Amino acid sequence: MNDTTTKPTARRIGRFKRSAFVAAFLELLSLGLTAQGVKAGSATWNFHPTNSDWNTAANWTPATVPNDPADVATFESSDTTNVSISGITTVDGIVFNPDASAFTIATAPSGNLTLSGAGIANNSGIAQNFVVGVGDGLIEFLNRATAGSGTTFSNSGFIDFFDSSNADEGSFSNNGATSTSTAHGVTFFFDSSTAGDGTFINNSATGSGIIGGSTAFAGRSSAANGTFINYGGGHTDFNDGSLADNSTLITHGGSIQFSSKSSGGSAQVELFGFGQLDITDHLSPGLTIGSLEGDSFVFLGSNNLTIGSNSLNTEFSGLIQDGTISGGSGAALIKIGTGRFTLSSANTYTEGTTISDGALVVSNTTGSATGSGAVRVNAGTLGGRGIVAGAVTIGSGSGTGAFLAPRIGASTLTGLTIQSTLTFEADGTYTYRLNTRKARAYYVIANGVTIDSGAQFNFTAVANKKLTAGKVFTVISNTSATPISGTFANLADDSTFAAGRNKFQVNYEGGDGNDLTLTVLQ
Dist. CA 457–CA 222, nearest whole Å: 46
CA dihedral 230, 231, 233, 237 (to 10 degrees): 0
Burial 380-389 (b: 16+ CB within 10 A, else e): bbbbbbbbbb
pLDDT at 305: 99
pLDDT at 183: 60
CA diameter of the chain = 100
Q: Which amino acid is at 509?
A: E
pLDDT at 28: 32
pLDDT at 165: 99
Q: Which amino acid is at 506?
A: V
Dist. CA 228–CA 202, nearest whole Å: 7
Q: Please give the helix or strand (H or E) that residue 328 lies within, else none.
A: none
pLDDT at 475: 97
pLDDT at 106: 97
Dist. CA 66–CA 114, nearest whole Å: 11
pLDDT at 413: 55
Q: Is 401 exposed, middle or buried (0-12, 13-18, 19+ CB in 10 A)?
A: middle
Q: Are strands 428-435 and 440-441 parallel, antiparallel or unpaired?
A: antiparallel
Q: 134 Cβ partners below 8 Å, 6+ apart?
A: 109, 156, 157, 178, 184
Task: Determine the 3-state secondary structure of 267 from DSSP.
Answer: coil
pTM for this model (two decimals): 0.91
Dist. CA 252–CA 255, nearest whole Å: 8
Dist. CA 501–CA 515, nearest whole Å: 25
pLDDT at 135: 78
State phi, psi for 266 to the nearest 5 degrees. Answer: -110, 30
Each residue's pLDDT expressed in tens, for the chain with a length of 522 residues: 333 333 333 343 444 455 555 444 444 333 322 233 345 789 999 999 999 999 999 999 999 999 999 999 999 999 999 999 999 999 999 999 999 999 999 998 878 999 999 999 999 999 999 999 887 899 999 999 999 999 999 999 999 999 999 999 999 999 976 655 456 799 999 999 999 999 999 998 766 666 789 999 999 999 999 999 999 889 999 999 999 999 999 999 999 999 999 999 999 999 999 999 999 999 999 999 999 999 999 999 999 999 999 999 999 999 999 988 666 789 999 999 999 999 999 999 999 999 999 999 999 999 999 999 999 999 999 999 999 999 999 999 988 889 999 976 555 556 899 999 999 999 999 999 999 999 999 999 999 999 999 999 999 999 989 999 999 999 999 999 999 999 999 999 999 999 999 999 999 999 999 999 999 997
Q: Give the sign of the dihedral formed by CA 382, CA 388, CA 394, CA 395.
A: negative
User: Could you please report the per-residue DSSP string of 431-495?
Assistant: EEEEETTTTEE--EEESSEEE-TT-EEEEEEES-PPPPTT-EEEEEEE-SSSPPBS-BTTB-TT-
